[in-house]
Chains A and B, each alone.
Chain A
Amino acid sequence: MTDPNTLSPLDLETPDKTFLDANELVINMGPQHPATHGVLRVILRLDGEKVLGLECVIGYLHRGVEKIGENRTYTMFNPYVDRMDYVAAVSNGLGYCETVEKLLNVEAPPRAQYIRVILTELNRMASHQLWLGTHALDIGAITPLFYTFRDREEILKIFEKYCGARLTTHAFRIGGLQYEAYDGFEKEVKNFVNFVKPKIDEYEELLTTNRIWLERTKGVGVISGKDCIALGVTGPVLRASGVKWDIRKALPYANYKEFDFEIPVGQNGDTYDRYIVRMAEFRQSLRIIEQAVERIPAGPIMAKVPKVMKPPVGEVYHSIEAPKGELGYFIVSDGSTQPYRVRVRPPSFVNLQALDVMCRGQLVADVIAVIGTLDIVLGEVDR
């Protein structure tokens, strides 16, 4: 295991020493590559098939989301955050709304909190389903992709019925919700939970004990808990390395402390453990949804929030447990209607740093597996 603190940067400028010594190969993977999950470009230095080091080149999807935030009011900026991690747009919205609520010192009413938790957990499942499908596809199993997308469709249908959008939902508002849950929302969520439970077993049947899957994922892309903390890696990747850190438990936000759930933890920090942790998170999410949908209280869905938001001068940092890790918002307010500075701490961007550490000494095929297991979304990496 390479220590990330002493990791020397990859030398990509110097050409191979001599012609006869040219057994090292510099390969460019991406930005148009089927397995880099969007527009990630990875420069690999290979010795045969062995990876000597790699460097990520990002920015192909940079839209300046943070800068846009400085020129929009707090309400206007809300839909923009959905475009960062477009796979888990609801989580992004939750993080932003809660941060601004913290700045304004208001709290969403209980009914809004419950609906927020249900939608966020549904979104976590949708995000994990997309991860599982594409990750398995990268390793060569093409079938799980279609199974997960079939079931993800049911979640998107609930989103569509709730707020009219499937992907970039803009589901929450600062101070609560704009829309009341539609008629039969609880029943549909319950039906979905019953529908998806056997489906998760179905995914596991295809992969968990599959010999080839085990060989391709066990001991691949190992990263220790210490290195994870040193690099700031969070989310399922951190938990698979044996660190029991989940912001839903550690620094509860929304009303997560009212629910009974566990934090799945791995031991080896390899790709297989990350797979197992995420599969367990599916079931924990279902547990939270089941509890929440049973106990949705009646009441208002919007707290008292001024029409023109002028938060007091100050700064706030608030983070939530997004499907991919710690999603944090740092907002500086100068007392005007627009934030002075918005800084996002995206989990994908920080987790991507670990790619080099996890891939050194592995084979090219493992780089693909590791990119898949990190579960990055380039919209969030580049912002």
Chain B
Amino acid sequence: MNELMDYIQKYLSSDQTPGGAGNIFWATVYILLVFGGLSVAVIAMNWLERKILAHMQVRLGPMRVGPHGLLQPIADAIKLLLKEDIIPAEADKVIFWIAPFIVVLAAFTVFVVVPFGPTHAITDMNIGILFMLGVSSLSVLGIVTAGWASNSHYPLIGALRSSAQMVSYEVAMGLAVVSAIMMTSLETGTGTLSMIGIVRAQEAQGIWFVFKFFPLGLIAFGMFAIAMVAETNRAPFDLPEAESELTAGFHTEYSGFRWSLFFLAEYSAMIAVSSIAVTLWLGGWLRPFPSVHGPSIAIPHIWPPADPSAPTGALDFVFALCPGISFLLLGAMCFYNVQRMPKHPLFRVQTMGLAGFGAVLALIGLIMFVPAVRDRVEDIFWFSAKVAGFMYLYIWYRGTFPRYRFDQLMKVGWKVLLPTGLALLICTAVWAMHVEVWYAVVVPLWQWLVSLL
């Protein structure tokens, strides 16, 4: 018994990921946490997308099920589970059955290496980023099989479009990723493909890679940000499911729970690629301005943190309070809306529900001020906040942009992003390896080009 307790507790004091420490128990716990958290995130994302999009489009969005439609995703989920499961008579039943699972599997497996914090990842692979890109591109297999097995015209066209699109944008994506990986080798001399190693490199260099080698890092980040939208089949690159042309693309023939698996996969894939972008360019779990600490301060029992190696600056303290403050703000927003609710007996349950939701959020916020919790969740908070920013961008794109046509999409991928990526790679390499060559050749060349205009 004691051995078991030791086994469990030994990990808590280590500074490694459970996978890295070889601790099966904690790895399982982390897998369950990531799976549960991801499902909650998808549900929240479903609600947020509908609400944010609605407010962009001068309407209210879901308002009926629960206060401000908060329970709408749950109602939707129940509806989908209760729906009749239809497999078309002409469909290839086995493949039709397998396809959604391939997609979901690919979308969830990538989270094995996503680093929510220096120790908060299921495992740390030395080929982390390759693993992510590789596994996430497996989902194309599921989409093609779904389109093929449906044995129908629209899904087939949707699947073909989708596979062509994902394959061609992976090239641009890969080039952008390589330029970021080059930057990891700068100070330490050894580059790394490990997701945690990449963030550690940014920590060591004291800068997010998006600002490194300005503007090269920014261009690489922009390229990735475009490619990842195409990779996840979202607006303005949502051709595979272009509803005005192909009704619903590759999942036209799917219904009920199978359809919801595609939905789940789409949103978790969005979160996955956003995590890659955050890890590579936006400093992963690092807080903003990671190299600025401010004067060292000490408040009894509260600051500095228990870990002796942690920084003790005033700015560190302020940023450490951010998770609690943001949850308190969310709670306050709920209470503000409680006060705005119509004062009618019919709305009593909804008002109380909203107040309860706000109280839960505020309670979470308060718990996050406890030093022991605060020091453990700060990494996760910053990582999630950055990913949430990307999620908002996705919704914003969808509210603003028309849809690209297929040939234009290919043109953007192969004729714009690919050459840019290659040039970027060369520029990054030259700057990283031989700064003097950069200043002697590339900068004058650029100035000469500009003077021509």
Q: How far is the CA of A146 from the CA of B57 in the complex (A)?
A: 6
Q: Could you say which residues of chain B place their CB within 8 Å of the CB of A146? A: 57-59
Chain B residues whose CB sits within 8 angstroms of the CB of A25 once the complex forms? 153
Q: Are B401 and A49 in contact (CB under 8 A)?
A: no
Residues of B within 8 A of A365 (CB): 239, 242, 245, 403, 405-406
Contact of A212 among B58, B399, B401 (CB under 8 A): B401
Residue of A nearest to B244 (CB): A35
Contacts of A150 in B (CB 8 A): 58
B245 contacts which chain A residues (CB < 8 A)? 35, 364-365, 368
Q: Tell me if B15 counts as interface (CB < 8 A to partner A).
A: no
* A104 interface residue (CB < 8 Å to B): no
Q: Are A216 and B402 touching (Cβ within 8 A)?
A: yes
Counting chain A CB atoms within 10 Å of each CB, which of B154, B242, B244, B408 scores highest? Answer: B244
Contact B406 A138 (CB under 8 A): no
- Nearest-neighbour CB distance to chain B for A372, whole angstroms, equals 9
Interface string of B383-411 (1 = CB under 8 A from A): 00000000000000011111111111000
Chain B 45-72 per-residue mask, 1 if CB under 8 angstroms from chain A, else 0: 0000000010011110000000000000
Once the chains bind, are A141 and B406 in contact (CB under 8 Å)?
no
Contacts of A139 in B (CB 8 A): 244, 402-403
Q: Which residues of A contact B56 (CB under 8 A)?
A: 143
| 232-256 of chain B: CB within 8 A of chain A | 235-236, 238-239, 242-245, 247
- Number of A residues near B (Cβ < 8 Å) is 30
Interface residues of B in 214-272 (CB under 8 A from A): 235-236, 238-239, 242-245, 247
Determine if B157 is an interface residue (Cβ-Cβ < 8 Å): yes
| Option from A35, A207, A216 in Cβ contact (under 8 Å) with B405 | A216
Which residues of A, 132-155, contact B by the 8 Å Cβ criterion? 136-143, 145-147, 150
How long is the Cα–Cα vector from A210 to B399 in the complex, in angstroms?
Answer: 13
Question: Chain A's nearest CB lies how many Å from the CB of B405?
Answer: 5
| Count of B interface residues, CB-CB < 8 Å | 28
The residue of chain B having its C-beta at the shortest distance from the C-beta of A46 within the complex is B157
Q: Which residues of chain A have C-beta atoms less than 8 A from B242's C-beta? A: 140, 365
Closest 3 CB pairs of A and B: A140-B403, A35-B244, A146-B57
* Min CB–CB distance A27 → chain B (angstroms): 5
Known: A35-B245, A364-B245. A212 touches B403 (CB 8 A): yes
Given contacts A34-B244, A368-B244, contact A49 B403 (CB under 8 A): no
Do the beta carbons of A141 and B58 come within 8 Å of each other? Answer: no
Report Cα–Cα, A186/B6, bound state, in Å: 85
Give A137 to B408 CA distance when docked, in angstroms.
18
Beta-carbon nearest neighbor of B405 in chain A: A365
**Nearest B-chain residue to A146, judged by Cβ:** B57
In whole angstroms, what is the CA distance A364 to B244 when docked? 11
Inter-chain contact B402/A136, CB cutoff 8 Å: yes
Minimum distance in angstroms from A335 CB to a CB of chain B: 51
A193 CB–B CB distance under 8 Å: no
A85 within 8 Å of B (CB atoms): no
Shortest Cβ gap from A320 to chain B (Å): 31
Q: Is A213 an interface residue (CB 8 A)?
A: yes
Residue of A nearest to B407 (CB): A363
Chain A residues, Cβ within 8 Å of B57: 142-143, 145-147
A-B contact pairs, 7 of them (CB 8 A): A34-B243, A35-B245, A140-B238, A140-B401, A140-B403, A207-B402, A365-B239
Q: How far is the CB of A368 from chain B (nearest CB, A)?
A: 5
B236 proximity list for chain A (CB < 8 A) = 140, 212
The answer to whether A210 touches B401, judged by C-beta atoms less than 8 angstroms apart, is: yes
Chain A residues with CB under 8 Å of B407's CB are 49, 363
Q: Which residue of B lies closest to A139 (CB)?
A: B402
A273 at the B interface (CB under 8 A): no
Q: Measured between C-beta atoms, what is the minimum distance from A301 to chain B in Å? A: 37
Contact B400 A143 (CB under 8 A): yes
Asked whether any CB of chain B lies closer than 8 Å to the CB of A206, the reply is yes
- The verdict on A33 contacting chain B, using a C-beta distance below 8 Å, is yes
CB-defined contacts of A35 to chain B, threshold 8 Å: 243-245
Bound CA–CA A25/B401 (angstroms):
30
With a cutoff of 8 Å between Cβ atoms, the chain B residues found around residue A145 in the complex are 57
CA distance A170 to B154 in the complex (A): 42
Kindly list chain A residues whose C-beta atoms are within 8 Å of the C-beta of B153. 25, 27
- Give the chain A neighbours of B238 by CB distance below 8 A: 140
Least CB distance, B240 to chain A, in whole angstroms: 12
Inter-chain CA distance A198–B146, complex, in Å, is 47
- The answer to whether B398 and A363 have CB atoms under 8 Å apart is no
How many angstroms from the CA of A25 to the CA of B153 in the assembled complex? Answer: 9
Structural contact, B58 and A210, CB atoms closer than 8 A: no
Kindly identify, within residues 216 to 234 of chain A, every residue whose CB is under 8 Å from any CB belonging to chain B. 216
A213 touches B58 (CB 8 A): no
Chain B, Cβ-Cβ closest to A141: B402
Query: At the interface, yes or no: A215 with Cβ under 8 Å from chain B?
Result: yes
B168 CB, nearest partner CB in chain A, Å = 15
A366 interface residue per 8 A CB criterion: yes
**Other-chain residue from B58, B154, B244, B247 in contact with A140 (beta carbon distance below 8 A):** B244
Q: Which of A137, A138, A141, A366 contacts B401 (CB 8 A)?
A: A141
Q: Which of A143, A206, A368 has the most CB of B within 10 A?
A: A143
Q: What's the minimum C-beta distance from B257 to chain A, rounded to whole angstroms?
A: 24
- Contact mask for chain A residues 311-337; partner B; CB cutoff 8 A; 1 contact, 0 none: 000000000000000000000000000
Greatest chain A CB density within 10 A among B154, B400, B403 is at B403
Residue of B nearest to A217 (CB): B402
Closest Cβ neighbor of A206 among chain B residues: B400
Tell me the minimal C-beta distance from A338 to chain B in angstroms.
Answer: 43
Instruction: Tell me which of B154, B239, B244 contacts A137 (CB under 8 A).
Output: B244
- Contact across chains for A215 and B404 when beta carbons are under 8 A apart: yes
Neighbour of B408 across the interface among A141, A143, A206, A215, CB < 8 A: A215
Chain A min CB distance to B147 (Å): 14
Residue pair A216, B403 in contact (C-beta under 8 Å): yes
**Whose C-beta in chain B lies nearest to the C-beta of A140?**
B403
CA distance A366 to B406 in the complex (A): 10
Contact of A363 with B405 in the complex, beta carbons under 8 Å: yes
Contact B398 A142 (CB under 8 A): yes
Residue of chain A at shortest CB distance from B411 = A215
Contact B244 A363 (CB under 8 A): no
What residues on A are CB-neighbors of B405 within 8 Å? 215-216, 363, 365-366
Do A34 and B247 have beta carbons less than 8 Å apart? yes
Residue on B nearest A137 in the bound complex, by CB: B244
Complex-state Cα separation, A27 to B404, whole angstroms: 22
**Which chain A residues in 99-150 approach chain B with CB under 8 Å?**
136-143, 145-147, 150
CA distance A139 to B56 in the complex (A): 18
Residue in chain B with minimal CB distance to A212: B402
Contact at B406–A143, with CB atoms within 8 Å?
Answer: no
Min CB distance, B96 to chain A, in Å? 21
A212 neighbours in B (Cβ, 8 Å):
236, 401-404
In the complex, what distance in Å separates the CA atom of A315 from the CA atom of B236? 54
> How far, in whole Å, are A147 and B58 apart by their CA atoms in the complex?
7
Name 11 extra pairs, CB < 8 A, besides A212-B236, A216-B405. A33-B247, A49-B406, A137-B244, A140-B235, A141-B402, A141-B403, A146-B59, A147-B58, A210-B401, A215-B404, A366-B405
